[in-house]
Structure 1
């Protein structure tokens, strides 16, 4: 596929946006997400047991849920981005290992999930932003049975 310079720039900016999301979540610097999502973004993490709602609601869910984990990593790849002027859509693969303190003082549980982010992007005055995100579950492994993300 042949891209114009503008399309190359747009794709790189969207890929940077996705990396910014991953880093903000993994470092618990969740206020950085204000630069990732539009204020009216709709987010659906429910396929993996998480929250669904407005950006503000889901950001609060993340602030409540993520501190329970000692470590998380969002490793993203396979960026499938389709540009349409000031809008774009995307499908991004994510491998997400997480470390959970089991509370018994002797060990931590490491589990992981594989998922796709199905996104809609919009070009704003501040650059590209995610206006809609939903997760599509591929698999999970070694997830403790008591994990109910929606309870956070």
Structure 2
């Protein structure tokens, strides 16, 4: 059985929902939403091309707190998904 159009559309919708939830959680600085609704319990990060460093694995809670800290200098943020 191949990849059906129904499965493709369902996957696409789920991905769009997840990305929207991610951006909303960033902008509302909601660590609990990132941990409970977006991230898996364990996250593999590889930001080497952008920020240098080595790929690593971390917990969703640790990374959500880090993202919150990254956004803390800004009074407001607005991520837009097109």
Give the TM-score normalised by structure 2.
0.69
Distance 1:18 1:53, change over 3 A: same
User: How far has the Cα of 1:69 moved from its partner?
Assistant: 0.6
The equivalences for 1:52-131 within 5 A come to 53-54=57-58, 55-77=60-82
TM-score by structure 1 length? Answer: 0.41
Structure 1 match to 2:25:
24
Structure 1: gaps (5+ residues): 78-152
Q: Deviations over 1:74-104 (max 9, x none)?
A: 2223xxxxxxxxxxxxxxxxxxxxxxxxxxx
Q: How far off its partner does 1:26 sit?
A: 0.7
Partner of 2:39 in structure 1? Answer: 37
- SS, match of residue 69 in structure 1: coil
Unaligned runs of 5+ in 2: none
Deviation at 1:63, TM superposition (A): 2.7
In the TM superposition, residue 27 of structure 1 has moved relative to its aligned partner by: 1.1
> Whose RCO is larger (CA < 8 A, sep 6+)?
2
Query: Which one has a larger percent helix, Structure 1 or Structure 2?
Result: 2
How far apart are 1:57 and its partner, in Å?
Answer: 2.8
RMSD: 2.3
Higher strand proportion? 1
Distance 1:29 1:56, change over 3 A: closer
Contact 2:31/2:65 (CA < 8 Å) preserved in 1?
A: no
